[in-house]
Structure 1
Amino acid sequence: MTPPPAPPNRLLLGFVLMLVAFNLRPALSTVGPLLHAIREGTGLSAAGAAVLTTLPVLCLGLACALTVTVIRRIGPDLGVLAGTLVIAAGLALRGFDGLVPLFAGTAVAATGIGLANVLMPALVKRDFPARVGFMTGLYTMMLCLGAAAGAGAAVPIEQAIGHGWAPALAVWALPAALAALAWAPFARKASAGASPAPNITRLLRDPLAWRVTAFMGLQSSLAYVLFGWLPLLLQDRGLSPLDAGLIASLTTLHQAPGALAVATLAARRRDQRGWVVAVLAVTLAAFLALAFGPDAVRLPAAGALGLGIGGCFALGLTLIVLRAADAASAAGLSAMAQGVGYAVACLGPLGFGLAHEATGGWGLSAALFAAITVCAGLAGLGAGRDRQVGA
């Protein structure tokens, strides 16, 4: 089949892809900082807050099931455009004050994120075949920066606007709409040729695809444990809520350079098993140092933890691209790895919290974190070998 024509300006294409990538996380990271204000303003219960924070992860996974249909009907380029527009619509919906718009907008935005998430590796594989590592690292870095921007700016924006939490959430629809507008010309040009749909059934019978999926899901589980529980763990160690938040923000900020470096360097090698061991070892050692180490190592451990977990995420996406033989396989493997992976990732923070509740301490929770890390390493050793799923 004749491949679609190359975009006339690859540098501009890369820039717009990064703009889209930046908007794939604020919808997820802006709710947490405003959760206290949301609960005060709406009477949302603790159980409702738990559902609100879990809902996006579930929608991310469910959205992956739509990917094959989207590719078959409109292609990956228009699929990314559609996903970005859905994100903007969901974010705007959250601006209507109330629990129904909040939950509905969150679900809609997460569905758009899931769709674009899956299609981005396929576009990198197709449009930047000689620089997949660098481009994967770059857009993963932008994902991390978008998450950090959303988390860090949510409260200041709420205070600046002065009309409650709803406008502070809805304002993020503006950069998402801008990203969709910037991507639209590339979507029209890149969609001129038909796009082959991935064969998910074949991937489900491929052991390598399952190893990539297991690594993606388990490393995502580690990340969601940190997102959900690191601030509380630090508060139990004597830090104030403000200081605990600053340490967590420091960890988040360090994910960006970790993602860029690991993806770029790991893709230069045919075998990524050494990188799997390295990033997981750094992640586990830094987490244990932050959870149980002396105060003197707190800041360097937080930075190292961010580098490690950012590297894990980037490596998961890089393995999707490298283990796929072509763009269609990359889209299918991305759908499988992220769809199943996010379902697995939900279990990590749940088990971590239940272990803490059962014991009142963090020892059993840390042991669970270590066990997930080891399992991710075993999956990654299989996924990191120089092999590919079939074209």
Structure 2
Amino acid sequence: MPTFPLDSRRSTGQALLVWGLLVVAANLRPSLTGVGPLLDRVQADLELAPAVAGLLSTLPLLAFAAVSPMVPRLAARWGPERLLWGALVVLTLGIAVRWVPTAIGLFAGTVLIGAGIAVGNVLLPSLIKRDFPLKVGLLTSAYATVMGAVAAVASGVAVPISQVAPGGWYTALGCWIVLALVAVVLWFPQVRTSRRPASEAIRGHRLPWGSALAWAVTAFMGLQSLGFYVVVTWLPQVFQDSGVNAVAAGWLLFVFQAVAVLTSLAVPAALRWARDQRAVATVSSVVLLVGYLGLLVAPGWALLWSVVLGLGGGACLVLALAFLSLRAKDATMAGALSAMAQSIGYLLAAAGPVIFGLLHSVSSGWHAPIILMCGAATGQVIVAMVAGRGTVSPADGQAPHRSTGLC
């Protein structure tokens, strides 16, 4: 059997790890973003009330919030590679269950999908911090770009697939099982080479509830997530009510997502020359604020505000993900910080579209809900000045009170 130099084997292993991380990232959004364009057909075929149909968008976010705090303890016990592989299996199972043409299968599969994605959301920043500590910005941007690009494609092809494929919208939602299976296979070598957790790692860090910096990172994650899910849920309707037809409004949402993907590619360069991330995060949040103010005062300039929101949103997403690694001292703390930020953050994100829609109904217009988003963006500008610098101390996760069992 031929032998290879150690450096060559190490390089091959790292390349396989990077590819595995990117394919995992590609699975973290398409099963979610493909639902919105099909929601009216799903509602009609299964005879769902509007509020019940809306749960298809809310349930995954609630699953993120519920599962995220448990991930660091599970990862320390089983190893992050094994846990992530198991999450991919759960995600695949969820897509398969959702393919069953019943309301129970649809909702049960959505919960499983949300649980599987929650684990990936928490573990990717931790794995990047552990294995690529000098390339956090670059790899975070890469996986955010892949995640955003596949999400945009999923929302764009959902309706065409449902129109031509046997099974209609069931197949449009279920076809993503192919990508999930690819991730299961490609990640399996990492399971075989997984390192056994040390006993001190199993004890791990509890979530850093006592850290002001951790709360700033959490607030930044939550506010940018709230903005993203409000935009993808309601922006087309806002544009339609300002005179844009439905087809054009759908394309404007695609423009928002495409610009966000392109912007995410530019963030690593900004991170390299910046001493810290306060200025980049603050400017990006201000750009978002400008986009919301534009919607408020000149909603007819739809294309401009789609681009502006994409510029700010794409940068803020990469920064929010990068903070989970950059603000952590080590991979264990990155996992704990990621769990805290994503559990609270996605609770906030789940409430955003509901409150936005409620304000629209109560006020019979879009001014009140858009003013709410201006307030959220202003809050994001403030927390960006704190979240962009410093390190969360392990002591902040070791409060003297009795453990709750959540890591």
TM-score range, shorter chain: over 0.9
Corresponding residue for residue 227 of structure 2: 222
Question: Equivalent pairs: percent with the same residue?
Answer: 37
Corresponding residue for residue 402 of structure 2: none
Corresponding residue for residue 141 of structure 1: 145
Shift of the alpha carbon at 1:290?
4.3
Counting only pairs closer than 5 Å after superposition, residues 1-391 of structure 1 correspond to structure 2 as 8-192=12-196, 194=198, 196-197=201-202, 199-201=204-206, 203-266=208-271, 268-290=273-295, 292-293=297-298, 295=300, 297-390=301-394
Root mean square deviation of aligned Cα: 2.0
Shift of the alpha carbon at 1:8?
4.1
2:42 and 2:119 map into 1 onto residues whose CA distance is 27
1:17 and 1:380 map into 2 onto residues whose CA distance is 27
For residues 203 and 6 of structure 1, do their structure 2 counterparts lie closer, same or farther at Cα, with a shift above 3 Å needed? farther
For residues 129 and 234 of structure 1, do their structure 2 counterparts lie closer, same or farther at Cα, with a shift above 3 Å needed? same
The amino acid that maps onto 1:226 is V
For residues 170 and 299 of structure 1, do their structure 2 counterparts lie closer, same or farther at Cα, with a shift above 3 Å needed? same
Partners of 1:132 and 1:267 within 8 A in 2: no
Shift of the alpha carbon at 1:277?
1.4
For residues 6 and 320 of structure 1, do their structure 2 counterparts lie closer, same or farther at Cα, with a shift above 3 Å needed? farther
**TM-score (structure 2 length as normaliser):** 0.90
1:109 and 1:83 map into 2 onto residues whose CA distance is 9
For residues 199 and 74 of structure 1, do their structure 2 counterparts lie closer, same or farther at Cα, with a shift above 3 Å needed? closer
The 10-residue stretch of structure 1 (64-73 or 230-239) with the greater mean CA deviation from structure 2: 64-73
**Greater CA radius of gyration, 1 or 2?**
2
C-alpha offsets along residues 129-169 of structure 1, whole Å, 9 cap, x if unaligned?
11110000110111111211211111111122132221221
C-alpha offsets along residues 350-380 of structure 1, whole Å, 9 cap, x if unaligned?
2221221111111111111011111112222
Shift of the alpha carbon at 1:284?
1.8
The amino acid that maps onto 1:34 is L
Shift of the alpha carbon at 1:54?
0.9
For residues 263 and 111 of structure 1, do their structure 2 counterparts lie closer, same or farther at Cα, with a shift above 3 Å needed? farther
Shift of the alpha carbon at 1:201?
3.5
1:69 and 1:7 map into 2 onto residues whose CA distance is 30
The amino acid that maps onto 2:236 is P
The 10-residue stretch of structure 1 (66-75 or 260-269) with the greater mean CA deviation from structure 2: 260-269
Q: Secondary structure at the match of 2:208?
A: helix
Shift of the alpha carbon at 1:304?
2.4
For residues 37 and 9 of structure 1, do their structure 2 counterparts lie closer, same or farther at Cα, with a shift above 3 Å needed? same
Q: Secondary structure at the match of 2:99?
A: coil
Shift of the alpha carbon at 1:61?
1.2
1:81 and 1:290 map into 2 onto residues whose CA distance is 42
1:181 and 1:92 map into 2 onto residues whose CA distance is 17
2:226 and 2:172 map into 1 onto residues whose CA distance is 28
Partners of 1:198 and 1:329 within 8 A in 2: no
The amino acid that maps onto 1:144 is G
The amino acid that maps onto 1:266 is L
The amino acid that maps onto 2:261 is A
Partners of 1:198 and 1:332 within 8 A in 2: no
The amino acid that maps onto 1:246 is W
For residues 201 and 386 of structure 1, do their structure 2 counterparts lie closer, same or farther at Cα, with a shift above 3 Å needed? closer
The amino acid that maps onto 1:251 is F
Count residues with an aligned counterpart. Answer: 386
2:376 and 2:84 map into 1 onto residues whose CA distance is 32
Partners of 1:276 and 1:315 within 8 A in 2: yes
Structure 1: unaligned runs, 5 residues or longer: none
1:260 and 1:59 map into 2 onto residues whose CA distance is 29
1:87 and 1:317 map into 2 onto residues whose CA distance is 21
Shift of the alpha carbon at 1:42?
0.8
C-alpha offsets along residues 218-257 of structure 1, whole Å, 9 cap, x if unaligned?
1111111101110110110111111111101110111112
For residues 226 and 201 of structure 1, do their structure 2 counterparts lie closer, same or farther at Cα, with a shift above 3 Å needed? same
The amino acid that maps onto 1:17 is L
Partners of 1:267 and 1:322 within 8 A in 2: no
Partners of 2:287 and 2:309 within 8 A in 1: yes
